[in-house]
Structure 1
């Protein structure tokens, strides 16, 4: 009798368990995470699901997508998942993957403080941090999966989801029950800031006007990119909405964020469709519900998911990749199986007015005046991104500095990577940047010609650091343009007089260092300058002393544009010319303008420099008007007998004219003589 009772009890328990699993198996995985009451996460049912979630997580920290985690697993399936732990294929943030599992574990931990849930959550945070590109964006899969998956992915709100996770982690809010260690929170904040910058840089300009975003942007050029055949590069009404809501959530938004939001809202207003609504009509003898767009003057606003980059015209595509003007023109499979319209921007418009009022209220007090008042010493300012100085950003320190000061303003920049575009304005004279160390005090940004998109002169807007203020001095810094080999991308733009860099590194590709201004004189000592094409260019008079000039491609190191009446252009003394191993056919220089002047004295020239040394750049007048010369150089690349016939090898008497006094002191006011002897 006892045995019969036990069997009955077991049968009942198994039946109940099967019934419970049946209930949650009928739900979608995201709805289980988002719709269940907090108390449910303390149940045995939830614990069983949590075991599945832990099993599906890969060692790298992320999860695959489109998994119904609540479905029961057989012993064989569990063993298979254990064997897959080290596998990194198909780990992604697409379709909510990874971010939603992290939320589930947080809700579990709030009810059941199992350390495994906490560790798995923090592994997820680490995965998101590792997956980020240097430019601030995220791919769809990490490790990278070949194809369009490597693009920066806003599609299906992938990057917006990641950014929202990192924001909560960085600010240690109560949204997640699991709090990250301080070091991880700090990394999350940096990653979030980089992500915001990426979003700002990818906002599409249509005829010079900021609009919205595309579902994918190229991970190198940041330009709009295609995905699947029916997902062509276009402005997206759906993905853009979540990005704007994210920008609106930023505390103390920068002017750039405010402009981005205002521009996107204006675009949403311009592109909303007010006379269409979607209807679902059953197809006879089928379970399919046909999708039909119906004209309705009283319909709620909709936005197309795909709009032309040139004029915002909605379009639709089938798997053949051919654009159609209406939804009815594409095949039923894509018509019914894809979201072509969205109402998500309505949430942006709903919140916009209150956001705008709040921002306007926050920006009433002039921040610059407040900053000046709080400075302990207005002539010795400290920048520390960790918050242990007067300012966290370099630009804030510049903006708080006196215009045309009576004495030099020294800005000490503590170690850190300052991801910002920095400008020393014309009125910011007598400014010094003193880095804590050359290796670890880094200013970096990644603008380039195609991204700036301001016409034929876009190059000159791309600089990471721009100097318009005279008598600028800098030492112990590294300045980078990290946009990569994407064309013109300036690292430093010097358009001022008596500018000196000491013990600094300039990293970039094409057009790394631009020195501008007829009559301006600059001095670079003990510096490292790298690039690909014309990576030192401009019309200023510049002395490079004890510098390393490093070529990264078979191209031209310099492109001077010296004016005819200026006696000295680029002068390199005691410098070393090196190159990447693959570089074998580089030139010392070519003329950007016909009277270019470039001279190398006592330099060690690597074998990557071609025997002819110089290029005329298809300018017939170069041989007559340019002045290219060398004096007592050394190295495998120094081949004076094989140089182009119109270049020069200086005599001793001629070389004497290339003293630092002659190059940098001539035509300098008496009060600023010997300006190049400055050390801070």
Structure 2
């Protein structure tokens, strides 16, 4: 009797100990002796009961809690359903770890079978793009997003990595065929991670807690979980990438960029202070200044500028923790110190993998230096356009083609004088966008500030751009150039040039060809001294002003020639001049061009330079539309005769006087 009573007390004591622990602590902190016990077998029966036939488990369950007969029956009835099955809050991952730990000490086949079934669930739940949803089978709403939140996807990836690497961490090893699937799933997961890494102004940063499963863009979770960069989730993603043996160049670039970003956004001099009630529950959180505080990172940061923010359940951003209600302020982790592990391990990782040398070599030695690819997601030879140009051969003997994948490249790009024979080829005109926002007052270096504003500057001869949008996004704030060209034999084909004042600076003594382009702006938005032919282009005025401001060299036979083109305007625009002379020898001609009603009958303006009426050459031929009023044009402009118009051919405008049997630079574009 005494012995039985002692045993009962001991059993109750042990049971109390495991009930006092969280399920996570029980799984991870229990020693091998406990996993070999009868008590562990009893907990294992609960784990098996909670597993649905699809293979996964529900979340937030204290699996060690004893079950009544009715509860066991209810769980048996739920097995055929997928109710609540998820990888959120470490569900499924923790149960698989438990089964592995007990199988190591008590190798029962039913533990192994349940583990393998859980593994199959993870493999089945993966999207074709490599990501995992929060719930599978899929639930409506944000649960379908690719979920890095609370390290859900990273936990899955770590399971797969341990198994494919045969590390011994798990006591259960799948069949060879399954291992091949695991390896493929892991690689796809890494690809998804690289594709979802967010870029600010063309620079890789971190990750959002959730990303749209189709577009891969940052996505919203709950009402207070707005699309944002996450210090917490990004940390575990980087640590996963750093654990990969023999990492690829894209993985190295991803880690290096994320490390740099985490350094930039760390918060110093701030400490979280908590107040607890008698039960140990947090009843108040405040942030206090503390010069000796260890670095912190915000859980949510704005995508554009990394500014930390906070939210109540109303989804309205606040920029101070004390601005939100007690329930969300005290019940949510708004700050984290997890990135400290990335900073701690980074230098050792760089050294162990020879990262600096490999990244330098990659930039300097692409596989084919005459055909390289730029991709924002790190899958190309370069992730920025300027890097590709800077590493191109100087004065090459053959064309260098730089293919640019779809994306918004927020960068200033310069084709230097020695970068001759470069082709910039976008994946699509609508979705391959080079943009920047410099403007005259922002540059502020004096009267010539305009010429420092271009988004894309071309100083090299024999340059071609195709299928691109080139934009100055500064807005209507004065002079702001999108594209500047000061060189010879330059072709811009099937491109959109977007801006306001001074959109296109087509200048220099060379020849330029704009074919099948859309060019928009407000004032003098095509200006400069080049000989330039605009063929089959749409020229769109956004304001009552002037289209061209040529400054043609007096010795040039031709200036700006618009042929077979179309002049359009915004709905409220109705007074636009074809051009005015920036310099008094300006030459501008429109041939076979459709002119909208926004073009003023007088057509041309002398820019308050009466002498320009004698020296400028402004002419038209065979135009059409409501804006073509030849009888009302300024008397000092000219209507060409048919024989005069015949001189404005491709060969005459863009060629040279030396005959050659070679295909001309402006042909076959």
| TM interval, short-chain normalised | 0.5 to 0.7
Taking the aligned partners of 1:487 and 1:577, their CA distance within structure 2 comes to 20
Cα RMSD over matched residues?
Answer: 7.2
1:455 to 1:181, Cα distance in 2 relative to 1, 3 A: farther
Closer/same/farther in 2, CA of residues 54 and 563 from structure 1, 3 Å limit: farther
Match of 1:337 in 2: 331
CA deviation map 1:407-447 (0-9, x unaligned): 3x223568975887795632444314396xx9779993464
Q: How does 1:212-291 map to 2 (within 5 A)?
A: 238=232, 241=235, 251-252=248-249, 258=256, 261-262=259-260, 264-265=262-263, 268=266, 271-273=267-269, 276=271, 278-282=273-277, 288-291=281-284
SS of 2:276's equivalent?
strand
Matched, 1:574 2:579: no
The residue that corresponds to 2:196 in the other structure is: 195
Q: Is the 8 A contact 2:481 2:505 kept in 1?
A: no
- Counterpart position of 2:622: 632
The answer to whether residue 491 in structure 2 is matched with residue 501 in structure 1 is yes
What's the secondary structure of 1:571's corresponding residue?
strand
Specify the SS of the correspondent of 2:199: helix
1:497-551 per-position Cα deviation (integer Å, ceiling 9, x unaligned): 124337x422475479964363254433653437687897453535345434386
TM-score, normalised with respect to structure 2:
0.57
Secondary structure of 2:629's aligned partner: helix
Q: 1:650 to 1:165 in 2, by over 3 A?
A: farther
* Matches of 2:126 and 2:524, distance apart in 1: 41
Q: CA deviation at 1:469?
A: 1.9
1:214-244 CA distance string (max 9 Å, x none) = 99999xxxx9999999899999765675677
Q: Using the alignment, how far apart are the partners of 1:577 and 1:242 within structure 2?
A: 54
Structure-2 separation of matches of 1:355 and 1:603: 62
1:402 matched to 2:390: no
Match of 1:610 among 597, 611, 614: 597
CA contact (8 A) 1:449 1:459 kept: no
Q: Which of residues 114, 122, 125 is equivalent to 2:127?
A: 125
Q: Offset at 1:632?
A: 0.9
What is the correspondence of 1:481-520 to structure 2 with a 5 Å cutoff? 493-501=483-491, 504-507=493-496, 510=499, 515-516=504-505, 518-520=507-509
Rounded Cα–Cα distance in structure 2 between residues aligned with 1:618 and 1:172: 76
Match of 1:523 in 2: 512
Larger radius of gyration: 2
From the superposition, tell whether residues 429 and 411 of structure 1 become closer, same or farther in structure 2 (CA, over 3 Å). Answer: closer
1:534-613 paired onto structure 2 within 5 Å:
537-539=526-528, 541=530, 543-544=532-533, 546-549=535-538, 559-563=547-551, 570-575=560-565, 595=582, 599-604=589-594, 609-612=596-599
Which structure 1 residue ranges, 5 or more long, are not aligned? 1-19, 58-65, 86-95, 132-140, 205-211
Counterparts of 2:522 and 2:361, CA distance in 1: 41
- Distance in 2 of aligned mates of 1:102 and 1:336: 28
**Cα distance in 2 for residues equivalent to 1:167 and 1:615:** 72
Q: Distance in 2 between matches of 1:111 and 1:523?
A: 70
Q: Distance in 2 between matches of 1:661 and 1:455?
A: 39
Q: Which residue of 2 aligns with 1:449?
A: 437
Given that 1:540 and 1:562 are in contact with CA atoms closer than 8 Å, whether structure 2 keeps it comes out as yes
SS at match of 2:343: helix
Assess if the C-alpha contact under 8 Å between 2:394 and 2:420 holds in 1: no
Specify the alignment match of 2:421 in structure 1: 431
Residue 303 (str. 1) matches residue 296 (str. 2): yes
How far apart, in 2, do the equivalents of 1:509 and 1:571 lie? Answer: 20
Q: Distance in 2 between matches of 1:293 and 1:240?
A: 24
Indicate conservation of the 8 Å contact 1:524/1:543, yes or no.
yes
What is the total number of aligned residue pairs between the two structures? Answer: 578
- The 1:105–1:444 alpha-carbon spacing in structure 2 relative to 1, beyond 3 Å, is farther
Counterparts of 1:338 and 1:37, CA distance in 2? 31
1:433 aligned counterpart, secondary structure? strand
Q: Would the aligned equivalents of 2:56 and 2:118 in 1 still touch at CA under 8 Å?
A: no
2:462 aligns with one of 458, 471, 474: 471
Please say if residues 316 and 323 of structure 1, whose CA atoms lie closer than 8 Å, have aligned partners that are also in contact. Answer: yes
Rounded Cα–Cα distance in structure 1 between residues aligned with 2:258 and 2:123: 32
